[in-house]
Amino acid sequence: MSRTSKQEMTAPCSVGTASAIATTTGQLPLRRSALLALFACVSVTGCGGGDAPVSTTPPPPVAAPAPAPKPAPVISSFTPDTGPSGTLVTLSGINLSGTTAVLFNGTAAPFSQVSATQLTATLGADATTGPVTVTTPGGTATSAARFTVTVPVKKLKVFILAGQSNMLGYGKVDLGGNPATASREPNIIGGLGSLRAMVDNNPDTYGYLVDASKPITYPLYTGTKTYPSWKTRNDVWVSHWTEAAPRPGSPTVESRNGGLTVGFGAQNLMPEGYIGPEYGFGQVVGNALAEPVLLIKTSWGGRSLAVDFRPPSSGGTTGPKYTEMVAIVRQVLSNLKTHYPAYDGAGYEIAGFGWHQGWNDRVNRDHVAQYEANMVNLIKDLRRDFGVPAMPVVIGNTGMAVEPTDTQAVALITAQGNVANPAKYPQFAGTVTTVDTRPFYFGNNSPAPTFGFHWNYNAESYFRIGESMGTAMVKLLKP
């Protein structure tokens, strides 16, 4: 190779270096030395002789374009536009995908995404009247229209209680049996079988019946000793109808009217006041229902189903107390403001019928034999006369002082149970039930052990009968 050729080969690179080298050397392919020179030129010295070295640092990344903004939501309508808490509202609009919140006048509501154009939301208990807002990743939309929150109408729940003296009630409130005497006399405050003893012995269960902040005294019995007073509840009202005096021919009157408390039994003078099943029944249904409650209690001592309460469908002469009972109920319902002053005109519903009776039938063999048929007819006729075809009915059987050898008592209790047997009376299935009251007979642990026909005047017996009947009624009311 000549000198000139070497110089040209090692000269600085320029465009076309590779072809120049090939031409200079006159050899193809390029020799190894020429390739090395070419690579050195490109990677170290740069092309064009004397230029700055080529940087090996990677160029900065190109920034990604900003995402397009999410479209703003729009509420075009919602339905319904009024309702109470719990109302399911359907909202329509556009761009509702990804919703994160729905509010009724600022109160959050649980919701479900149906589509990009529809949502459903449930009005909460604390919601108030105002606009609806929806929040999505695209922003918040507020409805032009307002949702009106309404207060649901609470119809008065009316329960009819009927029977003979044990519906009337002889359970002693404060006076009870003296444990120091066999006769349990003289009765003492808080004695055996009194309502006071029931509360004192079971404060966790029945303490809600009394108010320690309002003490009372019984000076003739215990001097200045104080006791918690008995509470009155005004969400449960009682209209009690019975004879003006316990003698034949005495007219029936509204003997007492007021909020549920003690003293709606056969007499109300404290501390000798009495209760019947209404007291326990009213506590249970009052606690279970959101609506106000009215108990219309009609009861007369010494009356039978076979004669006095005889229903029209049983044939013969319709019982005078059947006729009177229906008339009293109609009278009260036609003049609600008189008998229930808190009535607000929202309407009423006859919600159920409670029956506790049987002694005057169980002592008569013929009455026992027809009791089941008469009871079936009583239910059918009352449903017809009150215009409530499926009126719930609870029967408290005649379970006081029942001896296994008392075949008539056992037969009558069996008849009362049969009426609620859906296999025998499928037309009553789910609407009629019978409560067995025999477990509530407490014998000598009572104020008057020789009065078995009146549950020995034991208030706990009467309370628990009513409590059980109320519990059974609430079960029938549930759909």
pLDDT (0 to 100) of residue 18: 42
What average pLDDT does the chain have?
Answer: 89
What one-character DSSP code corresponds to residue 319? P
Mean pLDDT within 461-479: 96
pLDDT digits (tens, 9 = 90+) for 297-309: 999 999 999 999 9
Per-residue model confidence (pLDDT) at position 273: 86
**Mean pLDDT value across residues 14-23:** 42
**pLDDT, mean of residues 252-260:** 96
Answer whether 74-149 and 156-477 agree in fold.
no
**Alpha-carbon distance values, 84 to 174, 223, 233 (Å):** 45, 54, 26
Inter-CA distances, 30 with 22, 48, 131, 456, Å: 6, 21, 84, 130
Residues constituting the chain: 479
pLDDT at position 52 is 52
φ and ψ at residue 5, rounded to 5 degrees: -60, -40
pLDDT of residue 88: 96
CB atoms within 10 A of CB 243: 17
pLDDT of 147 reads 97
Return the residue matching tokens 């109808």. Answer: 241
> What average pLDDT does this structure show over 343-362?
96
Using pLDDT thresholds of 50, 70 and 90, give the confidence band for residue 54.
Answer: low
pLDDT of residue 67: 78
pLDDT tens profile 269-314 = 777 789 999 999 999 999 999 999 999 999 999 999 999 999 999 9
Least confident span in 4-13, 151-160, 442-451? 4-13
Superfamily of domain 74-149: Immunoglobulins (2.60.40.10)
* Low-confidence winner among 17-21, 374-378, 473-477 (lowest mean pLDDT): 17-21
Residues 6+ apart with CB under 8 A from 335: none
The first and second tokens of residue 96, run together, are: 């509702």
Specify the CATH superfamily of domain 156-477: SGNH hydrolase (3.40.50.1110)
pLDDT-derived band at 248 (thresholds 50, 70, 90) equals confident
Residue 424 has pLDDT above 50, yes or no: yes
Alpha-carbon span 48 to 64, nearest angstrom: 36
In this model, does residue 414 exceed pLDDT 70? yes
Q: Give percent of the chain above pLDDT 90.
A: 80
Instruction: Give tens-digit pLDDT for 69-108.
Output: 889 999 999 999 999 999 999 999 999 999 999 999 999 9
Does the pLDDT of residue 479 top 90, yes or no? no
**From CA 332, how far away is CA 311, in angstroms rounded?**
21
- Kindly state the percentage of the chain with pLDDT values over 70: 88
Domain boundaries, the chain: 3-45, 74-149, 156-477
Token pair belonging to 425: 């009376």
Per-residue tokens: 366 = 């013929």
Does the pLDDT of residue 16 top 50, yes or no?
no
Report pLDDT digits (tens) over 186-238.
999 999 999 999 999 999 999 999 999 999 999 999 999 999 999 999 999 99
> In this structure, are residues 161 and 260 in contact, taking their beta carbons and an 8 Å threshold?
no
Instruction: Give me the pLDDT at residue 55, please.
Output: 56
Mean pLDDT of 173-185: 96
Cα–Cα nearest to 285, from 260, 254, 256, 258? 260
Q: Average of pLDDT values for 141-148?
A: 96
Q: Over 80: is that where the pLDDT of 8 sits?
A: no
Q: Contact 398/364 with Cβ under 8 angstroms? A: no
